Structure formats: structure tokens, C-alpha cells
Chains A and B, each alone.
Chain A
Amino acid sequence: MIRDSFLLSIKNLKQRGIRSWLTLLGIFIGITAVVSLISLGNGLQFAVASQFGISQTELITIEAGGVLGYGPPGTGAVNPLTTNDLEAIKKLSSVKKAVKRNIAPGKLGYNDKLIFGYVASIPSGDDRDFIYEQLDAEPITGRFLKDSDFGKVFLGYNFYVDKVGLDKKVLPGKKVIINDKEFEVLGILEKKGSFMFDNAVFMNEKDMEDLFDYKDEIDIILAQPKNKNEIDRTKQDIEKLLRKQRDVKEGEEDFSVSTPEASLTTVNNILGGVQAFIVIVASLSIFIGALGIVNTMTTSVLERKKEIGIMKSIGARNQDIFLQFFIESGLLGLLGGIAGAIFGTLIGIFGTLGINNFLGTDIKPTIDFVLIFFSLLGSFIVGALAGIIPAMNAAKQNPVEALQG
């Protein structure tokens, strides 16, 4: 009987005019929003996280606060970190290793073109190995820097594929001009999926300090805790030390100490806010869509009053009529859901491809069938619920009156 009701409902839906389809717009928009948001969500999170340079490594990042201008982390701080701070952090019992990283904005000339980008320092000795280890990538061509290299650099992947605006690939052995000084390119880093790496120029610490006149200032200190599980305690130790070192009170710090987890939480909080907003919009659309279905089904019951009378005269019980309209209403919702799921999935796929193209990331677009299943189920249920009252009205029609139309 339920199968029959479904088949009959599909027949009835085929006869519907454009008016009925327009009422599905609400459900369509709602489901589109939900499906595209969730499909994009993972990509967005990954993209944002990678742009913040957040890795899965268990490293604590320390940078000076009170930023004066825009720029890479640590640059332009009122009271920058110094080698004194680094030495003090190194001495902490809960810190296994602390390494300085300098990151500076610079200009690069090649092929008669000039671009602006970032130069990042590579430390020497053991620290170099540590940083390469953390980088977790190999040269795609050429080689990385050694301690004995001076006047040499290696570059991010985007230089290799001509995505930085130089109109020409940069290959090992070529010379580039950085802040008016010539450097030889040793190698190219393989693709990392974030412009923090892919667009960067890597230079030995010594060269960089000369080029940018660093003195004893430091942009970022990376600290590795002795015990991975006590990363938060290590973080507190560093904060306490730096407060003392820099003579600031708790709550008035001119520096920040962050763990990858905390940074990720910040990113997720921002994304969460955006998601909450879209979910509210989606819920409103679905609610409006449901009202549309109530409306169109109520009209439909009035229009098909005679049909209800005929059905009753040939043996339809109230529950048969109810089921008929209830299922029809659910199918109406489902149709909106199907359209929305298709459109939302397309937005998810093309949006992800767009993110990849824009940010140079490499996120695979995915089709989440569980999500699609539940959004379709949800839209059927919303439709069916919206149809309850019209279906009840249809079911309790008096056969004699209904037959008169």
C-alpha cells in the first residue's frame, strides 16, 4: 500500500505546475547551503590552517606582540625578541630545543621583473637539521643549503612552476637579486600546499642577518618541549620566563606563546562562527520552504477535493488519503533536497578547486555520501511534516461534499 501511495504520488507530482516547483526554492537553498558548507568546510579548515603555517608538529611558537605594521609574524614589533630571550628559553628545563627563525619581507628580481615576497632564515649546525626535519620535505630539484653556503638560497615550489609573477621558471644555478644583492639558486623545495612555503625564499641565517641588518633581534622562536604531552606546561614556563625577562605583568604581555593546537582552535572558532551563520540562514530557508510546502499542499487539497471524493467513493479509507498527501508532500521536499544536494555538491567541488587554484593548496574535493543521504532524508521529513496538516484536511473530507468538488 505504501509503495502504491509512492507511485501514485509520483504520478501526481508529474502533473504539477511551476507554482509548486517555486515553493521548493526554500528547501533547495537550505540544502544547498548545508551541503556546500560541509563539503567546503574541511577544505576551508585545511586551507586556513595551512595558510597560518600551522603544522601537526609539536612546536611552540613565540613571537613579539604589539605589532606596528603589517607583515610576517614578529616583524615590526615594538619590543622584539632578542638573543637574550632565546638563550633564556634554551635554559628552561622543560624545553628540549629552541631555534630562532627570521622572516622578512623583501623584493626579488629575476628575468627583468621585480616581485615582493618573504625571505625565511635557515639556522646553522644542528638547528639546520632540526628545521629541515620540521619542514618535512625534499628538494624537487637541486639541493638545500649547507653551513658553508654563502650568497646562496633555495626557493619555494611556486618559483619552479612560474606562479609568483616572474613570467619564467627559476631553476637551480640561476641568479636572483634579493634586496639589491645577487644570490645563486641552489634548489627548489617540493610543493607544500601553503604560500608560506611555496612562495618563500630560504636563506642562511648569516646572509639574512647581513642583508636585513638584524643585529640581535629575532622574529620567531620555535621551542620543542622535552615531553610532548606536557606542551601546555612548557608553554606556561616560557610565558613565565619571558614576563620576568621582559619585565611585564601577567595579562599585559608584549609577546605571544602559542601551541599548534591553540592556533588551530582559533581557526576553528572563526570557521565555526561562519558555519553557525550559514546554518542559521539554511535553517531559515528550510523553514520558509516548509511553509511553502504547507501552502502548496493546502491549495492542492482544495483543488483535488473532487478527486478525494472519488477516491473515497471507490473505497479509500481516511488513512489511505492521508498517506497519499503525506507522501506527496514528503516527495516534494525530497525533490527540493535532491536539487539542493546536487547543487551543493557542485559548489563544494568547484569551491575546493577554486581554493586550490587561489591558494596553491592541494585539497581533494570529496563527495560525502553520508551527508547527502541525511540531507535527502531530512528534506523528505521536512516535506512530510509540512504536509501533515494538509493531509489531515484531505483525509477528513466528507465524501459527499468532496464529490461535489
Chain B
Amino acid sequence: MKKQKIIIKLKDVHKYYYMGENIVKAVDGLSITITEGEFVAIMGVSGSGKSTSMNLIGSLDMPTKGKIFLDNEDISTFTESDLAQVRGKKIGFIFQSFNLIPNLTALENIMIPMMFQGIDEFEREQKAEELLKSVNLGERMDHYPNELSGGEQQRVAIARSLANNPEVILADEPTGNLDTQTGQMVLEFLKNLNKKGKTIIMVTHDPDLAQKHANVVYWLKDGKLEKITKKKNGWSKIRKEKLKQLKKAK
């Protein structure tokens, strides 16, 4: 079996916040290795450091100490602009509160990440249309976010996260603002993406959600890794998919 490519690696990462005299150790010596094609859940209660971890993994924030490798590159050496470029290209974000830009239509929201990668307008529009259709929103391209339901907005956000065909999708409580049924649908989309080979990292406070959908769950507590659990079944599934793909490719 071909060895899985390591896509994100946190090596003894610390993130401290200084509040007057007090030091808040939001993340305190975290080491995580995520390989390509995994569906990872980062699980923890509020204040466990899961949000900070997600910001660090998503290269939105820099660690106080320790190293973060994205595709084997140490991102702590990157300038802000390089970081933004890498982030825009390799990571797709999905947020709890959708975070679409209110002034822009569904289609334009999906075109924006491509704009920052310097993709020409025609290609942007084509790709965005294609992506919106893939999340079953082909009919709602010219709608503004406030004209869309929560589930629809989150689907636009999923489409946006895929705009630059990133290797990793980082989802922060993606179902947090949705009802159970809509949440389920969004998770199905994520699982489908995972089947197609995308690495999914989902941050959640809900252990059921984490264990049901993810193949690996990192349990955080007080900024430290408490335990890691793996779902054997899921692994083999992914391997089967991979094999199928490889066969196809040949």
C-alpha cells in the first residue's frame, strides 16, 4: 500500500494569549498529524482550545511556539501575503455562521477566492456556476445571502470552500446554526467530498457528530490532546475508494 501523504502537521504547538499579568494557554503543546483523505474531527468543549487549533491549522493564526507544516512547508516562515495565498489555495473554510459576503450574490461569493488567486473572470464564473450546481443551487446563483435559507447559505459556503480546489476543507461547527435535517444534508456533502479524496477537518463540540462522521477524532481538553480515536471501518472504505480511483486512473 502506498504511504498516505502527510498534509498537515502540528509539532508541539503552543498558543498563548497575554491578558495583563495572566497568560492564557489556549493551546499548550499540541501535536497532530493529518494525512491526505482523512475525515478528522477536532472535538472539545468550549474553552478546550479547539477554535484556536482550527485557526492555527487554517494558518489564520501563528503559534507562539512550535511548528506547523502545510504540505511539508513550515508556514511560520511565511510572510503574511504568502500565507494568504497559500491559505486561499490549499484550504477551504466553512464556518458556523456561513460568513458569506452580504453585498455579493451566491455566484460572486464563490468567485471571490478565485479572484485572489488571479484567475480570469470568465474561468471564475464558469467554475463558480459549476460548483453552485454541484451543491444543488443552480437556480439561486443571483440571490444574495439574505435571500437564502441557512442550509442554502451553508451550501454556498461549501461551494466557495471548493473554489480553488483545495486539498483541505476546514469546517468550524458547520452544522451549529442549522436544524438537524439541514445539518445532516450538509454533513452528507462533506462526506461526499471526503469520498472524492478531499481531506476534511471538522471542529465540533458534539461527540456524537464527531464519532458518527469522522474517521479520526482528536479529543482536546485544556489546550492539550486528551486522546485520539479511530474508526477502523471508515478507513477501509476510504482505501477502497482510493483503489478504485487508482484503477480508473490506470
A contact set with B: CB distance below 8 Å = 1, 4, 11-12, 14-15, 306-307, 309-320, 398-400, 403
Contacts and interface: CB of A to CB of B under 8 A. Distances in A.
A53 B225 CA distance: 96
Given A312-B84, A318-B81, A400 B101 contact: no
A307 B98 CA distance: 12
Please list the 6 inter-chain residue pairs (A to B) with the smallest Cβ-Cβ separation, ordered nearest first.
A315-B88, A315-B116, A317-B81, A314-B113, A317-B84, A399-B60
Interface in B75-89: 80-81, 84-85, 87-89
B58 A313 contact: yes
Contacts of B160: 314
A314 B163 CA distance: 10
Interface string B151-165: 000000000100110
A338 to B, nearest CB: 22
A312 B84 CA distance: 7
A311 B103 contact: no
Contacts of A316: 84, 88, 116
Nearest to A310: B99
Contacts of B103: 11-12, 14-15
Interface of B: 55, 58, 60-61, 80-81, 84-85, 87-89, 93, 95, 99-104, 108, 112-113, 115-118, 121, 160, 163-164
Contact of A315 (B61, B121, B164): B164
Nearest to B56: A400
Contacts of B58: 313
Contacts of B112: 311, 314
Interface centre among B60, B89, B160 (most CB of A within 10 A): B60
A307 B103 CA distance: 10
A314 B81 CA distance: 12
A403 B99 CA distance: 9
Nearest to A306: B99
Given A310-B99, A313-B93, A315-B117, A400 B61 contact: yes
A318 B58 CA distance: 17
8 contacts: A11-B104, A306-B99, A310-B99, A312-B60, A312-B84, A313-B60, A315-B85, A315-B113
B159 to A, nearest CB: 12
Contacts of B80: 317-318
Nearest to B83: A317
Contacts of A315: 84-85, 87-89, 113, 116-117, 164
Given A11-B103, A310-B99, A310-B101, 16 more contacts: A11-B108, A15-B103, A313-B58, A313-B60, A313-B93, A314-B93, A314-B116, A314-B163, A315-B87, A315-B116, A316-B88, A317-B81, A318-B80, A320-B84, A320-B116, A399-B60
A310 B100 CA distance: 8
Contacts of B164: 315
A267 B102 CA distance: 58
Contact of A399 (B61, B89, B101, B118): B61
Contacts of A4: 115, 121
B127 to A, nearest CB: 14
Contacts of B115: 1, 4
Contacts of A14: 103
Nearest to B60: A399
A324 to B, nearest CB: 11
Nearest to B118: A1
Given A312-B60, A315-B87, A315-B164, A400 B55 contact: yes
Nearest to A320: B116
Nearest to A316: B116
A10 to B, nearest CB: 10
Contacts of A317: 80-81, 84-85, 116
A5 B206 CA distance: 40
Contacts of B88: 314-316
A19 B182 CA distance: 39
A4 B89 CA distance: 18
Contacts of A399: 60-61
